[in-house]
Amino acid sequence: MARARTREGPRAILGLGRGAGANRSVAGVRSASRAGPPDSGQSPRPRRGPDLAVPAIPSAHLWLHPRGTSAGRFPAGCRDPGGRSPAQRDGSRGDLGVERTTPPRTAGKAAGKHWMMVRIVDLITSDGAVGPTTADVCVVGAGAAGIYTAVGLASRGLDVVLLEAGGAAPRDPAAQGFRCGYTHEEYRGASVGRFFGLGGTTARWGGVLVPHLWRDAEVASPSERAIWERIVLSVERYGSAVLRRLGYRGPVDFVEYPDRAIGGPALSTLRQSGFDVLADLALPPRHRRLDFLLRREPAVDSGSVHVMLHACASVCDLRAEAADNRLERVVARAPGGRETEIRADAFVLAAGALESARILLEIAETYPSLSGSLAGVGRFLSDHLSLPIAEVPEQGRAEAVGLFRPRFWKSWMRRFRFLERDRPDAAPRAFLHFVFDTVCHPAFALAKELVAAAQERRRPCLSDVSMLRGISGLWGVARERYLHSALYVPADARIVLQLDIEQRPRAENRIVLSEERDVLGRRVPTISWSIAEEDLRAIEETAERVLAKWTSARAGLPALRPLPLRVDATKVHDVYHTVGVCRMGTDADSVVDEGLRVRDVENLWVVSTAVFPSAGTANPTFSMLCLAEDLVQRLIELLA
């Protein structure tokens, strides 16, 4: 099957902080034109919209999606002229169980497209066979990393089984029956910062996409420099392709956007004071839950994604060989005891940082020959630490709003963050951003609930009173949004400057397996995580240093009033950017190599923020998706 890759023109998206050669361009991957599913009475589609709930997943739910542009191709799930369905083109592959004998009706842009089959089954509610027992690739976890990887592989012609421990609607770990123990303080990244279900944590996240930069590689310790170079090169190479797959069609201008949006004396003053400015991207609310990719992902070939809900990976069987170990099968178990096993040529762990580490810990315990290779699993758990360090006084609010309020490109929000340019080498990396507190404003309360409902695929929970109060204030929101492409900020809104700083990796911050068992009989993880004194000192020193630089500016920037830091473990909080527990590298502490393959296991890879050695200067999801795109290309070549 053809798996040719096309490339788009040169670009330079990550020049900031790179030094010499900052404008070096790297080509990215260009996806085919996107088209939605045709209006076919034979192909059920989920209802979408901010005020519509997701329908209950039946025992077998099938979506057929137009793919590619070649004429004369039958959609996946339909028999070709030779009488075989795509699911049967390889005699070793199991029948997907859903087939069409005639192509669905197509018209307009959908006519003549390649098609990819997406089937969703629930191990709890399905009757009879639940799907294939073999696949090209088995992906564990249907969150951001898992869905992105599965769809990327299927869009290039591979058959993928996607296992998800939760159901159609993501739920927190406690509701799912997956608990953690703690030896110190509670790690909120485990208790409230993750969700199980189709879409995973993307059902609740903010959708922020921002790249790690060359400054992450240039200032890292020697042992981490090569790894950060690998991460940033993946961002350069695949960042544009990731954004296109997520639906973004605007300029890739994380670095350049502030020149246009802020510009003038303020931007010059910021740079003279020692700050670089970056603009992130936030996904539109309707696309923040990444399961939308299962319904509208462009492709160049026809593969399939078979999603199994309530299919928790409980057993991983390896076969020991002379040179390497090889993962043979994964057994997925549902509440109630129903099981199914999946055999594949390749397996990808994409179950989130903590759950991926827990699975690897179980593998290491089951197979002692891997205990040395996987000795680093679960260690060096770290996160970003966040707290407000200053507020804008009342007389400076209008200036701060005019300069730094969020903007919009179509439905994509752009927000600014500030990076210290000449930071001491020993200081941890950090970034600053303004927080506009609009929570108490009725219009924003209404808008927030509508956004949350759209993201979670549910009906809004609003009283008549709250709707009336909110609607009366929506004029200001709509005026700024559609006339000025900016976020409306009430005149009395509190504005604070927030510091997010990376926690220093420490081996004693870790995950281990306890003797307790969860509802599926799996070992319960125990998390040892705390904020060290050196982290608190680093916060104080960084806050003092950046505020001194800001206030040294004579004009052009809004005034800041420093807040009492009261730096202690109860005031500083993590922001659910879990990293470090499956570190990438080549040393003894690493778990995966630079290609994300688990050490000494031939056909097992990890796609997760867990592979990052530390948190760096950015939210980790965008860089993780770039690594996922890199892995997709590698697996396509490997399995071709």
Question: Which is more confident, 140 or 42?
Answer: 140
Average pLDDT in the 157-166 region?
A: 95
pLDDT tier for residue 129 given thresholds of 50, 70 and 90: confident
Contact 122, 168 (CB under 8 A): yes
pLDDT tier for residue 53 given thresholds of 50, 70 and 90: very low
For residue 338, being part of any structural domain is answered with yes
Average pLDDT in the 96-110 region?
A: 35
Asked whether residue 449 falls in the same domain as residue 371, the answer is: no
Asked whether residue 157 falls in the same domain as residue 77, the answer is: yes
For residue 597, being part of any structural domain is answered with yes
Q: How does DSSP classify residue 86?
A: G
Q: List the single range of 136-145, 346-355, 511-520, 616-625 with lowest mean pLDDT.
A: 511-520
Average pLDDT in the 584-607 region?
A: 94
The residue out of 457, 488, 519 marking a domain boundary is 488
Exposed / middle / buried, residue 296 (Cβ in 10 Å: 0-12, 13-18, 19+):
middle
Q: List the single range of 141-155, 203-217, 319-333, 347-361 with lowest mean pLDDT.
A: 319-333
- Give the per-residue pLDDT at 324: 72
Residue 221 has pLDDT above 80, yes or no: no
Asked whether residue 169 falls in the same domain as residue 67, the answer is: yes
> Does the pTM exceed 0.95?
no
66-75, 164-173, 298-307, 629-638: which is most confident: 629-638
Residue 63 has pLDDT above 70, yes or no: no
- CA distance linking residue 2 with residue 353, whole number of Å: 34
pLDDT tier for residue 437 given thresholds of 50, 70 and 90: confident
Asked whether residue 88 falls in the same domain as residue 196, the answer is: yes
Q: What is the mean pLDDT of the chain?
A: 80
- CB under 8 A, 24+ apart: contacts of 15-24: 15/214, 15/255, 16/213, 16/214, 16/215, 16/254, 16/255, 16/276, 16/278, 16/419, 17/213, 17/214, 17/215, 17/218, 17/276, 17/419, 17/421, 18/213, 18/214, 18/215, 18/218, 19/214, 19/218, 22/214
Convert the pLDDT of each residue in 573-586 to its tens digit: 778 999 999 999 98
For residue 350, being part of any structural domain is answered with yes
Asked whether residue 334 falls in the same domain as residue 470, the answer is: no
Residue 17 has pLDDT above 90, yes or no: no
Asked whether residue 87 falls in the same domain as residue 197, the answer is: yes
Residue 50 has pLDDT above 50, yes or no: no
Contact 103, 78 (CB under 8 A): yes
Question: Which is more confident, 76 or 456?
Answer: 456
- Give the per-residue pLDDT at 498: 96
Question: Which is more confident, 69 or 194?
Answer: 194
pLDDT above 90 as % of the chain: 55
Residue type, 283: L
Asked whether residue 65 falls in the same domain as residue 146, the answer is: yes
Contact 604, 593 (CB under 8 A): no
pLDDT tier for residue 364 given thresholds of 50, 70 and 90: very high
- CA distance linking residue 584 with residue 613, whole number of Å: 7
- Give the per-residue pLDDT at 33: 33
Residue 90 has pLDDT above 60, yes or no: no
Residue 111 has pLDDT above 50, yes or no: no
Q: How many CB atoms lie within 10 A of CB 286?
A: 16
Asked whether residue 459 falls in the same domain as residue 359, the answer is: no
- Give the per-residue pLDDT at 59: 42
Asked whether residue 168 falls in the same domain as residue 308, the answer is: yes
- CA distance linking residue 609 with residue 350, whole number of Å: 9
Asked whether residue 597 falls in the same domain as residue 448, the answer is: no
The total number of residues shown for the chain amounts to 640
- Give the per-residue pLDDT at 23: 36
Residue type, 434: F
Contact 114, 299 (CB under 8 A): yes
Domain count for the chain, please give it: 2
Q: Which residue has the tokens 């059920």?
A: 44
Asked whether residue 455 falls in the same domain as residue 592, the answer is: no
Convert the pLDDT of each residue in 285-322 to its tens digit: 889 999 999 986 555 667 899 999 999 998 888 876 65
**Structural domain of residue 148, as residue ranges?**
61-94+111-176+187-207+304-377+585-604
DSSP assignment string, 189-254: HHHTS--BSTTGGGGTS--EE----HHHHHSS-HHHHHHHHHHHHHHHHHHHHHHHHTT--S---T
- Give the per-residue pLDDT at 469: 57
pLDDT tier for residue 109 given thresholds of 50, 70 and 90: very low
Average pLDDT in the 215-225 region?
A: 82
Question: Which is more confident, 80 or 535?
Answer: 535
Average pLDDT in the 425-430 region?
A: 91
- Give the per-residue pLDDT at 550: 94
Residues 6+ positions from 564 with CB-CB distance below 8 Å: none
Residue 56 has pLDDT above 50, yes or no: no
The residue out of 453, 488, 523 marking a domain boundary is 488
Residue 7 has pLDDT above 60, yes or no: no
58-62, 237-241, 282-286, 328-332: which is most confident: 237-241
Convert the pLDDT of each residue in 241-289 to its tens digit: 999 999 999 999 999 999 999 988 999 999 999 999 999 999 998 899 9
User: From the CA atom positions of the chain, what is the Rg in Å?
Assistant: 25
Convert the pLDDT of each residue in 515-551 to its tens digit: 999 888 889 999 999 999 999 999 999 999 999 999 8
Average pLDDT in the 480-507 region?
A: 90
382's tokens:
């770290």
Question: Which is more confident, 138 or 478?
Answer: 138
475's tokens:
């004029």
Asked whether residue 464 falls in the same domain as residue 334, the answer is: no
pLDDT above 70 as % of the chain: 75
Residue 84 has pLDDT above 80, yes or no: no
Question: Which is more confident, 107 or 618?
Answer: 618
276's tokens:
């670089």
Query: Which residues lie across from 297 on neighbouring strands?
Result: none
Residue 70 has pLDDT above 50, yes or no: no
Residue type, 494: R
- Give the per-residue pLDDT at 201: 94
- CA distance linking residue 155 with residue 305, whole number of Å: 9
For residue 343, being part of any structural domain is answered with yes
- CB under 8 A, 24+ apart: contacts of 249-253: 250/409, 250/410, 250/412, 252/11, 252/13, 253/13, 253/279
Convert the pLDDT of each residue in 378-389 to its tens digit: 999 999 999 999
Q: How does DSSP classify residue 76?
A: T
CATH of the domain at 165: 3.50.50
- Give the per-residue pLDDT at 98: 33
- CA distance linking residue 504 with residue 534, whole number of Å: 8
For residue 160, being part of any structural domain is answered with yes
pLDDT tier for residue 16 given thresholds of 50, 70 and 90: very low
- CA distance linking residue 349 with residue 637, whole number of Å: 19
Q: What is the 3-state secondary structure (H, E, C) of 351-419?
A: CCHHHHHHHHHHHHHHCHHHCCCCCCCCCCCECEEEEEEEECCHHHHHHHHHHHCCEEECCEEEEEEEE
For residue 84, being part of any structural domain is answered with yes
The residue out of 426, 458, 488 marking a domain boundary is 488
Contact 181, 524 (CB under 8 A): yes
- CA distance linking residue 329 with residue 346, whole number of Å: 10
